[in-house]
Structure 1
Amino acid sequence: MRIIIVGDGKMGSTFAQRLSKAGHDVTIIDKRATALQHTIESLDIMAIEGNGTTLEIQREAGVEQADLLIAATNTDEQNLLTCLIAKRAGAKHTIARVRSPEYVKEISLIQEDLGLSLTINPELACATEMARVLRFPSAVKIDTFTGGRVEILKHCLSPNSPLVGIRLSELSRFKASVLICAVERGKEVFIPNGSFQLAAGDRISIVAQPRDASLFFRRIGAPTSPVRQIMLLGGGRIAYYLAAQMADFGADVKIIEQDYAVCRNLAEALPNVTVIHGDGTDHLLLSQEGIEEMDAVATLTGLDEQNILMSLYAGQVSKAKIITKITRDSFEDIVENMDVGSVFYPRYIAAEAVVRYVRAMANSTGSNVETLYSIVGDKAEALEFRVSQGSRVSGIPLQDLRTRPGILIGSIHRGARVFIPRGQDTIEEGDSVVVVTTLPNLNDLDDILERRR
C-alpha cells in the first residue's frame, strides 16, 4: 500500500518503521531536515521536507494516489486539518493522532464529520492496556482475540513457580485448558513443543479463554484478584486516563504529581481520585501515602530514568504489582534485565493499532487477517485469521498439517465454541484461528504451510 505519514517525531518514525517493515511503500513528511535525515538513514523510505498540512506538499508526496495518510504531528488540530485536506485531495483513508482528553467524548462526532478512518490516542490506548493488566495482576501483558473470548497472557516464572522444570507435555496436571504458545528466555524466543522444559525467569505467553486463564493461575498459586489500591506517580495524560478507568472499576486511586496546576486540573476532572501535590521520588512522602500497602504502583512521569528508579524502589518496599512507562526504545535492552514489572511503550501500542488497521484494509485485497498483536516485541506475533472457502488447511487434522517452522495454532473459534486445539482437531471454513509465529508478514492462513517445491 502507498502510505504517507505527516510528522517525523517519535510516533511518526515508529509508524514508518513498522509499516515499511511490513512491506508498504511509505513516504514521510516533516519540516525538520535533521529528523528526516535520521529516518531515511535507518529506513528505506521516501522523505519530503515541508509542511505536511499544505496541499502543495501533500501533492508532492502523491496524496492523490495514497491508500492511507497518517497525521502524527504534536498538535491535535493540525492532525485533524491535515487529514481533512488529504481526504479532499484524494487519499482513500486517513488516520489522525488525537491526544487531548478534551476531545475524547466528541471523538466519534469528529471522526464522522471529517471522514476519518481512525483516530489514535496513544496515551488512552496505553492506559487501557495497563488497566487490563491491573485487573489480572499475574499477567505482564494481555492481548484479546475473537471479541474477548480468547486471551494471550504473558507471565514471568519466578524461581518458586510450580511450572519451573516441567515439560509442556505435563501441563495437563493443572487441569486447565491452556496452551503455552511462546517462551522468551533471555534474548531468544521459542515457539515450543511438548518436550520444551520451562525454567525460572522464562516469560511465557499463554493462550486461553478468560475463565480457563483464571483457573490456571489459581492452580499455580498466582494472584488473580484485581488490584484495589493503586498509586500513580506522575499526573500526565496516561495517569488521567488510567485513574479514570480504574476508579470506574471501583479501585482506590491515588496520584502524586509535582506540578500544582496539573494537580488542580486532575482533582477537578477526577473527583473520585485522591490527588497529592508532591515529588514522587521523595521516599518519605511515598511512605506517608502508604506505598508499602499498595496493590499496584505505576510510574508514569515524562522521564524514563525516573520511572525506572521509582519502579525499582516500589518493588523493594512493597509487594505491589509494578507498571513502568517507557518512552524511548534505547532503554529496551536495559529494561529487559531489570525488575520493573510490566513495561509499556505508548508509541508501540499506537503503532500496533495502526498496523492492525492496515491489515484490516488489506482484507479487501486478499488478506484474511482479522487481528494482529506483537507479543514479543518484533520477534513474534499472534494473528487471528478467518478461514476462507477453499483454504488448503481446511479439513486436515492438525497433526497431519505440514506447517512451516515457527508456527503454532493457538485456538479455534467455531460458532459458539472456542477451544485449544489438539492434534486430531481440524480447521474448517468459517473458523477464526489464532496463529502464533516468529515468521514475518503472514497475510493468509495458507502461508503457515510449508512452501511447495
Structure 2
Amino acid sequence: MRIVVYGLTHAGITIATFFSEAGQDVIVIDENEEAIAELNAKIDAHCVCSNAASISELQKLNLSNIDLFVASSNKDENNLLAAHFAKSIFQARFSVCYLMQTVFAPRHRQKTLQQSQLAIDKIISPEKAIAQHIVNNIAHDAFINVYPIPDLSLYFCVYEFEPENPFIGDALKEWLDHQDLKITPLILKTSHAYDVAHPKDQIRAGHVLFFCCDNQGIEAFNRQNMTDAESISNYVVLGGGRFGAELARRLEKQESVKNLKVIEKDLEKAKTLSQTLEQAIVLNGDALDPSLLEEAGVDKNTLVLCLMDHDENNILSALLVRKMQANTMVLIHTPSYFDVLSSLGLTSLVRTREIIVSEMLSFIPFKAVKILRVFGAYNWLLCRIHIHADSSFLSQNYEKIERKGHIKIAGVIRDEIWMPAVTLEDKMLREKDKVIFIAHKSMIRELDRIF
C-alpha cells in the first residue's frame, strides 16, 4: 500500500512508523523541517518538508496511486483541507482527518462537515474515542482494558493476573477451566514480551492475557472476576480540558455515577465547565494539591480519572491519590512509560495513541482483511475476514490459516453467534463466517494475499 501521512503529531508519527516497519510505501509531510529530518533518520519513509493543505505544494509531490491519506497535523483547518484535496484532486482511495481541537469536535459539527462538499471518508475526534473507552472500562471492573469491536457485538479484553490471584503458579489451562466463560487465549504478556498464549503457560503475577468475548460473555466474566467495583461511590476527574470535559459530560449520563467532581486549574475553564455540566461539581485548583483532593472526597471508595494534558502531571497525581487508597485510571500519551508505570502498580492506563491509531486503522480499506485494533506495543493486530463463496479457505480447517505464520484464530461469528475457537468441534470454515484472529505486524503485507 502507498500511505501518505500529513502532520507529525503523536498520532501521525505512530501511524507513519507503524506502516514503515510493516514494509509499506510511506510518504510523510510536515512543515517543520527539523521534525521531518529527525523522523527521516529513524524510519524508512520518504519525508518531505511541505504544507499538504496547499494544492500547489501537493502538486510538486508525486502523490499518484495513494491508498490512504492521513491528515493529523496540529491545525484542524489544514487537516480538513489536506484530506479533502487528497481525495478529490489526487484520487486517494481513502482519506482520514484527525481533529485535534474542540472547535470541530461536537457531534453536530462533525456531521455537518461530513455532509458538506468535503471529500473526506472519516473524521476522527480523539476526545470521543477516549471518553467512550473510559466509560466502557468503568463498567467492567475485572479488566484493565476493554475495547468494543464496532458492528460485531464483541469485546477485545485485557485481563491482568494480580498477586492475590489463587492461580498464580498454575498452568493457564487451570485458570481457563475454572472460568464460567469459554475463552480462547490469544496473547500472554510476560516480562515485557507479547507472545502467543498456550494452555501450558505458567501464570505469574503481572502477566496480562488478551482474549475476545461477546456481550453476554463479558458480563459473566466481569461478575466472576470483579474486584471492588461496587464500592466505588465517588468519581473525580482531574483536568477539565478536552479529554476531561468530554468524559465528564458522558459520565453525567451514566446511571451508576451519582457523585461526580471535576478539578480544573484554569479558572476560566473551570467557570465554563460549571456552566455546561448539569450535575458535576467543578473545583478550581491544582490537582496535585492534597488538600484539594481531600476536599473532593478522595478515599478508598473513589475512582480518580487522571486526564490532564501532560503525562507527568497524570502520573504524579495518580501516585498521590494511590497514597490516599483511591483507585486510578491514567491517561498516557507516551508508550515508553507503560512498563515503568505497571511496575509502580499503575496498570489501568488509557493508552491514547493506541486508541487513536486503532480508530484510524479500523477504517482502512484493505482488500480482504479489516484491522480492528492494534495492541502489544503496536506489534500485534486484531483482524477480521469474511469467508465468501470464492474464498480459498471455504470448507477448510481454520488451523490452515494459523499455519501461514504469526496468526491465531480467536473465534468465528456464525449466524450472528460468537463461537470461540476452543468451542468449535468442527473446525471447518463455512460461507458467511466472520473469522476473528490476531496477526503479528510483520504479516500485514501478506494478509491480503493470504485471504
Same fold (TM over 0.5): yes
Q: Which amino acid aligns with 2:113?
A: I
SS at match of 1:147: coil
Q: 1:126 aligns with which of 126, 130, 142?
A: 130
Question: Which residue number in structure 2 is paired with residue 230 of structure 1?
Answer: 235
Matches within 5 A, 1:7-22: 7-22=7-22
Instruction: In structure 1, give the amino acid aligned to 2:97.
Output: A
> Match for 2:147 among 143, 151, 169?
143
* Residue in structure 2 matched with residue 451 of structure 1 by the alignment: none
Query: 1: CA distance between counterparts of 2:38 and 2:345?
Result: 32
8 Å CA contact 1:157, 1:199 repeated in 2: yes
Work out whether residues 409 and 435 of structure 2, in 8 Å CA contact, stay in contact via their aligned partners in 1: yes
Rounded to whole Å, the distance in 2 between the matches of 1:327 and 1:72 is: 15
Q: 1:68 to 1:409 in 2, by over 3 A?
A: closer
Q: Which residue of 2 aligns with 1:440?
A: 442
1:198-237 Cα distance to aligned partner (Å, 9 max, x none): 1211111132223223323433453566965311111111
CA distance in 2, matches of 1:278, 1:199: 41
The alpha-carbon distance between structure 1 residues 63 and 112, as it changes in their structure 2 partners (threshold 3 A), is: farther
| Contact 1:150/1:209, CA 8 A, preserved across alignment | yes
Partners of 1:217 and 1:223 within 8 A in 2? no
Please tell me whether residue 109 in structure 1 is matched to residue 109 in structure 2: no
Give the count of matched residue pairs.
441
Please list every run of 5 or more consecutive structure 1 residues that lacks an aligned counterpart in the other structure.
449-453
- Does the Cα contact within 8 Å between 2:361 and 2:371 map onto a contact in 1? no
Tell me how far apart the structure 1 counterparts of residues 140 and 406 of structure 2 sit (CA, whole Å).
Answer: 28
Would you say the 8 A contact 1:399–1:424 is kept in 2?
no
CA contact 1:9–1:35 (8 Å) conserved in 2? no
Tell me the CA shift for residue 441 of structure 1. Answer: 2.9
Cα pair distance change 1:255/1:351, threshold 3 Å:
same
Distance 1:117 1:439, change over 3 A: closer
Q: Contact 2:335–2:377 at 8 Å: present in 1 too?
A: no
Letter in 1 for 2:157: L
Show the counterpart of 2:275: 268
Tell me the residue number matched to 2:418: 418
Give the letter for the 2:25 counterpart: D
Task: Map Cα deviations across residues 87-141 of structure 1 (whole Å, 9 max, x no partner).
Answer: 4422323222223334222212202311211112123212221221111122111
Q: Contact 2:22–2:441 (CA<8 Å) still a contact in 1?
A: no
Residue 246 of structure 1 deviates from its aligned partner by 1.4
Structure 2 residue matching 1:42: 3-state secondary structure? coil
Query: 2:206 pairs with 201, 215, 219, which one?
Result: 201
Contact 1:258 1:277 in 2 (8 A): yes
The 5 A counterparts of 1:155-304 are 155-170=159-174, 171-220=176-225, 222-223=227-228, 229-250=234-255, 251=257, 252-304=259-311
Gaps of 5+ in 2: none
Distance, in Å, in 2 between the alignment partners of 1:236 and 1:226 is 28
1:302-323 per-position Cα deviation (integer Å, ceiling 9, x unaligned): 2211211211222232242x21
Q: Distance in 2 between matches of 1:338 and 1:436?
A: 29
Residue-by-residue CA offset, 1:390-443 (whole Å, 9 max, x unaligned)? 444433455687625643221210013211123633222211111123453345
Alignment correspondent of 2:99: 98
SS in structure 2 of the partner of residue 106 of structure 1: helix
Q: In the superposition, relative to structure 1, how do residues 37 and 318 fare at CA in structure 2: closer, same or farther (>3 Å)?
A: same
CA contact (8 A) 1:155 1:205 kept: yes
Query: Take 1:19 and 1:446, find their aligned partners in 2: how far apart are those partners?
Result: 17
Is contact 2:263–2:287 with CA below 8 Å preserved after alignment? yes
- 2-structure distance, mates of 1:91, 1:13: 23
Query: What CA RMSD, in Å, does the superposition of the two structures yield over aligned residues?
Result: 2.5
Query: Alignment partner of 1:206: what SS?
Result: strand
Percentage identity across paired residues of the two chains:
20
Residues in 1 aligned to 2:447 and 2:277: alpha-carbon distance in whole angstroms: 45
Aligned match of 1:428: 430
Report the secondary structure of 2:261's partner residue: strand
Q: Is the 8 A contact 1:70 1:94 kept in 2?
A: yes
SS of the equivalent of 1:441 reads helix
CA drift of 1:259 comes to: 0.5
Distance across 1 between alignment mates of 2:63 and 2:334: 31
Amino acid at match of 1:45: A
Kindly indicate whether the alpha-carbon contact (under 8 Å) linking 1:387 and 1:445 is maintained by their aligned counterparts in 2: no
CA distance in 2, matches of 1:231, 1:135: 16
